[in-house]
Structure 1
Amino acid sequence: MNLYNLYGLKMTHQEIANYRLASQKIFKMTQQTPQEIVRHLGAMQAQDYAMAKWAIGSRCDASEKSIEEAINSGEIIRTHILRPTWHFVAAEDIRWMLALSAPQVKKFTASAAKKYGFDDKKLDQTNSSIEKLLAGNNHLTRDEIMQELDIKKTSSQDFLSAVIMMNAELDGLVCNGRMKGKQITYALLDERVLKSEMKLTTEEALAKLAKRYFESHGPATLLDFSWWSGFSIAIIKSVINLIESELDSIEINNQKYWFRLDVIDIDNFHESVHFLPAFDEILISYKTREASILLEHQPKAFTNNGIFKPVILENGKVIGTWKRTIKKDHMKVETQFFTVTDEAKKSIVFEEIKHFENYLETKVIIE
């Protein structure tokens, strides 16, 4: 049992923020591979492809090129899972995680497809056509696939094409293929990832997902896990008992927070600054985010319709945002702090950008 439970101490929001830095592999540089980082976190939101790669890179000593190689080789899979959005998932986790979450996400795709006259039968027929197109490691872009399916590229039909490909992903037929220049392609999942003999019941898979989440994102509540996983609180409550003995917990304001048993000692924390990408797990993976960002600053970091900006963290707290612009021979980074920041503090903050510079393998200039 941890010291908080043993002596009846209370955990503060600052301590929660510190623990999350450690559990999410942000606090200290790790020698883990990109695939190991993704596996540790379970699934990493990845609709912004460039930023999602930096989400991995900010947690390990890997360049953007090496992370892209892991994605192109199929060690890391980018697909729709958990919720109706893109995620990175380790290849070894894709099948059990897909089997668990696909039925709930398919409710969204089925509803959207029906608006275009695509029922289950027509979606299955379309899947068969897609399978023939991609067979033999033939990696194609969405536009190339739609052209072969004779689905015109219009604003309304573009949404239909997204639904068709998402349905094929959720059925375990396709996943991301190798990048074609800057274009994302699709490939057959069976040609990218070996089939697994492991069969889990829904209860076993949900318990495994929950344990993975709380160990990699904790301290976090059941409501946080519900938001991240897409499963209802009622379903989650029925499963948490299965892993209760494998986790630690503490109550704050009548809310129970769960985290890994061997969480790092709070005394080991030191001053730290981190430049994190848009849609990073440090914010997006929690339903409530007061531990990491003050309420009055939240509209500056993310919008009500779910757009998350790249953020600057100081000791686990969001203190500003940043954006990057690609130039011919360097990367320009512009920062915006929430409060007035003295130049001495700014220079310390800007020292952390060196990690981003190493990741990009190009010069970064801050303006």
Structure 2
Amino acid sequence: MKKLTINRYMISGAAALAVSAPGYAAVDLYKQNDASVSVDASFNTFYVRSDSDNEISGNDRTQSRVKMGFLPNWVGFNFSKKVDELTLGGRSSFWVSINDSDTAITSTGIDVRQFYATVEGGFGQILFGKDFTLFCRSNIFLDEMLAGYGMVNDTLGLIDGQGVSFGNIGSGYFYPYPHSQITYRTPEMAGLKLALGIVDPGNATTDTGAGRTSEEENPRVEAELTYNTKFGDNSTLTAWLGFLQQSSTSNDPNVDDVDSLGTSYGLKVKLGGLSLHASGFQGEGLGFLLGPGTDAGLGLQGLISENGEEVDSDGYVAQAAYSVSGERFVVSYGETTVETATEWKNETTQVAWFHDVNSVLRTVVEYNVNTLDIGGAEEETNTVALGLIANF
């Protein structure tokens, strides 16, 4: 199988979830009366050494890189203004690829992953614009390895790519790829909150290009129900259930229609310094990494539908973390299975030590093993990652 190189513009910033990761505190630029403007930023760089034993291509390689991790570097701007009974807000954020010296000299990629406004009141919140979507959203937002490195291999072009590493994307969950959307969130009621969105759909068929007959008659629908509660002196529980539905049809008799349907779910419990995370997904017509439409655009349409049928897929992540006095230790395992005739199975095992030097600076030491199996041919990649992270 030829190496699949994932376009850097598709994934630069692929896991940049600033609002979820610990240690981020926006700096106020302006705050007066009922209006405010603030900025947050994150900078990270990893030294990584990856050893690939590749039966898929037949080429084994050992590669050293200095690059960003699962989270890229970003700057985000936040806006808020109260007008009568409504609070109007907005966020624009820009994700930056720093490792551009290998294949595209001085062509640093800058991607806009969030550009949205919000209207909030007693009825809840309406978000309109571009943001991360809802299916598998909490799976990745609450990943204990979010600030680490994670999955890379040569088959997907991630060892040498300009973009991010993939964490557990493709080995336990899908990336909630940013799309334009209109999403309503209810007020929290007894710990429960529902988010329901209509999302700009993507063509999941092979009927593409000028003159195509393929269409999405309705937008993609995504939802997520979350539950949060506290118990004891220093313990919390978060549970969630997500949903995705989209249909792509074509008038070409040689092209398969695709009905994509998926559920995501999970549970995270914090008991003092101990944190336990278990999450997963299952569905059909979803693909492998970034969801229907986006995976099709990457040339992975054969993992969405095959022989006139939507392809089934499932995955899960199980993690344990322990924090004490500025130290955090994590063990993690995730896997995704895509049930094509030539089955794909992707597994990632990680152990990591995060050390908070102070409230801004963090160091990371990580060892991970990724195994991608395609029809019995394997690529195993062992990676050591040493990182520095500064969060503002």
Normalising by structure 2, report the TM-score.
0.28
Q: Higher strand fraction: Structure 1 or Structure 2?
A: 2
Is the helix fraction higher in 1 or 2? 1
- TM-score norm. by structure 1 comes to 0.29
Query: Which protein, 1 or 2, shows the higher relative CO under an 8 Å CA cutoff with sep ≥ 6?
Result: 1
